[in-house]
Each structure stands twice: as C-alpha cells, then as structure tokens.
Amino acid sequence: MKIGTDAVLMGALLPLDSKRMEALEIGSGTGVISLMLCQRNPKLNIMSLEIDAEAQEQCVHNFEKSPWKEQLQSIHADFLSFETEQKFDLIFSNPPFFSKSLLSDSEKRNIARHIDADVFEQWVLKAYELLNENGILAFVIPSESVDLISNTLEGKMILESNTFIRSFPETEVIRNIVAFRKSDKLGSFGIKSLSIYSSKDVYSPEYEHALKHYLTIF
C-alpha cells in the first residue's frame, strides 16, 4: 500500500497549473501523490488528510525529508468529520474502492481501500463545497465509478479532462483520472489514453515517458 500504480499515474498525469495553488488531498497514504505534484509545481501548497495513523506517520516523515516540506502539511483526520474554513483551488484523491470490490482479510486495509457508494457521494459533495470559484476536483477511480461522480456533480461542475488507463492497448479501461472544474460555463475538454504495458512484462513507451522523472526503474 506504500506506492501503487494508481497513485503514481495520478501524480504524473493530473492536469496541473503552473501558478501558485492551495490544494487539499483526501487520503494521502504515505504522500506519494502530493510529493509528485510538488515536484511538478513547487508553488503548490498542499494539506493532506489521512485516516490511517501509521500511514499518516510515514507521510509526515516523507514530507519532512522532501525538498518541499515547507509547502506540505499532513493531518491525521477523517475527511467527512474534518472542519476547515479554508477554500482550495484543487482537491484531489486516490479514493478507496467501493464495497462491491473484493474485500481484504485485513480490517485496516478494508478501511483504506473500500468505501460505500453513498458515503463516496458525501465525499464528493463536501469536496465541492470546499472549492474556490473555478476550483478543480480530481480523482483516480475505477472506470465504472465515473458515472456516479458525474451524476453527483451534474449542474455543479463540468468534466474538464478524462484520462483512460488500460493494462494493455487492446484491453478495457480499468481506471480513469478525471478532473472536474467548478464552473457553469463550458470549457475545453481533454481526453487522453495510456496503456501501462505494451506486451507481457514490458512497460509501454507512454508509461515510461510519464514516470521517468519519478521511478528509478526508468
């Protein structure tokens, strides 16, 4: 659970402005996405929330050892009970999968990886309320969950970008990196596609290009 493919892909592919931004991460794990986003834009200030105490402790350690420690803050908290007066330009998350996914034998891993759809809708709406005007809400999610988020945000936000992630070029989409903008005006829409592997055990050129600045295997 320390570093997963979903997390590093979001860290590398999430559309990101180069200007100074105030951001909130929901469910930081050990902090890899926030660290990658700060590497891409050192002007980012990120507040990261994590419900699991052990993961949050490691997140604090990773933030303190990074070149961007002044811009990163880790908080042990459940997002739904977290209170703040601050508004954010960007809110992002690699959220727990839904309860219909295969559950782990470990209760701790279930808490970190699974969430009921109705609770996730509460997440989405609370995040919406914490955004500044024109703020962005972004997730990396299973492909079957895109419609749930889109329906929850209908009339409130527009889908600004959608990146389709496949294991191989010929296989079905397994993840989407979606970014919604808080706006009542239609804007430009970006759509991309990335395959993790070009063949069995061989990473694709686009995956290597996306992650070559972050993973030592490249």
Write the CB contacts of 76 (distance below 8 Å, at least 6 apart in sequence).
50, 51, 53, 56
Is 192 inside any structural domain?
A: no
Is 137 inside any structural domain?
A: yes
**pLDDT value of position 113:** 43
Is 35 inside any structural domain?
A: yes
| pLDDT, tens only, 98-112 | 434 433 344 444 444
Is 125 inside any structural domain?
A: yes
Q: Which domain holds residue 31?
A: 5-156+177-185
Domain count, the chain: 1
**pLDDT value of position 111:** 42
Q: What are phi and psi of 103, to 5 degrees?
A: -85, 150
Per-residue burial over 201-212, b = 16 or more CB atoms within 10 Å of its CB, e = otherwise: eebbeebeebbe
Q: 214 pLDDT band (50/70/90 cuts)?
A: very high
Place of tokens 């030592």: 216
- For the segment 81-90, the average pLDDT, to the nearest whole number, is 96
Angle at 175 (CA atoms; ends 140, 135), nearest 5 degrees = 30
CATH code, domain with 84? 3.40.50.150
- For the segment 51-58, the average pLDDT, to the nearest whole number, is 94
Facing residues of 142 across strands?
Answer: 175
The span from the CA of 40 to the CA of 42, in Å, is 6
**pLDDT value of position 73:** 98
Q: 21 pLDDT band (50/70/90 cuts)?
A: very high
Is 141 inside any structural domain?
A: yes
Tokens of 64: 């303190």
Closest to 33 (Cα-Cα) out of 82, 95, 78, 77: 95
Is 215 inside any structural domain?
A: no
Is 212 inside any structural domain?
A: no
In this predicted structure, the answer to whether residue 176 has a pLDDT above a threshold of 90 is yes
**pLDDT value of position 51:** 93
pTM of model > 0.75 = yes
Is the Cα torsion angle 57, 121, 106, 196 positive or negative in sign? negative
Q: 95 pLDDT band (50/70/90 cuts)?
A: confident
Write the CB contacts of 12 (distance below 8 Å, at least 6 apart in sequence).
36, 210, 211, 214
Mean pLDDT rounded to a whole number for the chain: 88
The span from the CA of 197 to the CA of 202, in Å, is 6
Is 172 inside any structural domain?
A: no
